[in-house]
């Protein structure tokens, strides 16, 4: 793994949050790549922090329900927003519903430090607006084939962190992790990449560390 979570790599869109509001991190990526599983892992790994989650479902309130059932977070800390059949609109073109959800959470929990926003599963071009999140994580999985990083698209190329998930499945689907990792680094021009399996490392340690580093940057910056 080429990613050192403690290194303070440059953020091309460095946009420190306004003082006094929680840091917002977006988690995007195609359907089923493991966004909710990652969010759940982060909730567990960062349980010592005041955090909350916003989910954007396309077809169901599945993601919010999963998090509630998984018991990783107090249900009052989870807000689900309706996207009007347009998941990318809700995180990019018209971020109203998400801003409302974030504000509602911040009002409910004044000490909130971090809000994780999970986008509805979408295509490779769906990225979060900088007006909504401070940083974004894009999650793809190996099951989609090892061509995915090579195909690029704004999600893969510009996200602040790319997660290639489900590495445990690589042998089963014939995906070459070296190819994926190499392509990912090539198209991302130095932005970090994490390869992980939530089956092998359920705590998503590398991503959790990356998130902690982002939070630390806010506090010290």
Ligand X SMILES: Nc1nc2c(ncn2[C@@H]2O[C@H](COP(=O)(O)OP(=O)(O)OP(=O)(O)O)[C@@H](O)[C@H]2O)c(=O)[nH]1
Residues that bind Mg ion (CB under 5 A): 35-36, 63
> Looking at beta carbons only, is 98 or 181 nearer to other proteins?
98
> Looking at beta carbons only, is 17 or 32 nearer to ligand X?
32
CA–CA dist 29, 10 (Å, integer): 22
Q: Is 81 in the site for other proteins (CB under 8 A)?
A: yes
For 33, other C-beta atoms within 10 Å of its C-beta total: 24
Locate all alpha helices (DSSP H) within 118-190, ordered by sequence. 148-151, 154-158, 170-173, 177-188
Identify residues 61-80 at the interface with other proteins (CB under 8 A). Answer: 61
Q: What six digits make up the tokens of 140?
A: 């793809």
Could you tell me the smallest distance in angstroms from the CB atom of residue 91 to other proteins?
Answer: 12
Q: Is 169 in the site for ligand X (CB under 6 A)?
A: yes
26 CB-near residues (< 8 Å, 6+ apart): 91, 116, 117, 118, 119, 128, 132, 133, 135, 136, 137
Mask of contacts with other proteins, 14-53, x by CB under 8 A?
----------------------------------------
For 205, other C-beta atoms within 10 Å of its C-beta total: 14
> Looking at beta carbons only, is 75 or 84 nearer to other proteins?
84
* 60 interacts with, out of other proteins, Mg ion, ligand X, none, CB within 5 to 8 A per kind: other proteins
Could you tell me the smallest distance in angstroms from the CB atom of residue 220 to Mg ion?
Answer: 32
Distance of CA 117 to the CA centre of its chain: 7
Residue span binding ligand X (CB under 6 A) among the ranges 1-9, 26-34, 147-155, 211-219: 26-34
Could you tell me the smallest distance in angstroms from the CB atom of residue 123 to other proteins?
Answer: 16
Could you tell me the smallest distance in angstroms from the CB atom of residue 185 to ligand X?
Answer: 20
171 CB-near residues (< 8 Å, 6+ apart): none
Cβ–Cβ under 8 Å, residues 146 and 114: no
Residues near ligand X, by CB under 6 A: 29, 31-37, 63, 121, 165-166, 168-169, 197-199
């Amino acid at each position: 793994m080429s990613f050192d979570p403690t290194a303070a790599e440059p953020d091309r869109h460095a946009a420190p949050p306004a003082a006094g509001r929680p840091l917002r991190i977006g988690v995007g990526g195609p359907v089923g790549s493991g966004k909710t599983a990652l969010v759940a892992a982060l909730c567990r790994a960062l349980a010592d922090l005041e955090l909350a989650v916003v989910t954007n479902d396309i077809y169901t309130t599945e993601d919010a329900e999963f998090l509630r059932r998984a018991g990783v977070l107090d249900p009052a800390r989870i807000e689900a927003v309706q996207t009007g059949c347009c998941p990318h609109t809700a995180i990019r073109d018209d971020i109203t519903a998400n801003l409302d959800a974030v504000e509602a959470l911040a009002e409910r929990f004044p000490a909130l430090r971090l809000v994780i926003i999970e986008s509805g599963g979408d295509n490779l071009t769906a990225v979060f607006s900088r007006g909504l999140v401070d940083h974004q994580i894009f999650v793809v999985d190996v099951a989609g084939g090892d061509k995915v990083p090579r195909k690029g698209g704004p999600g893969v190329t510009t996200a602040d962190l790319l997660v290639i998930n489900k590495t445990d499945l690589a042998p089963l689907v014939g995906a070459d992790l070296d190819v994926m990792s190499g392509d990912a680094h090539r198209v991302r021009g130095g932005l970090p990449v994490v390869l992980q399996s939530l089956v092998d490392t359920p705590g998503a340690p590398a991503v959790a560390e990356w998130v902690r580093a982002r939070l630390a940057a806010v506090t010290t910056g």
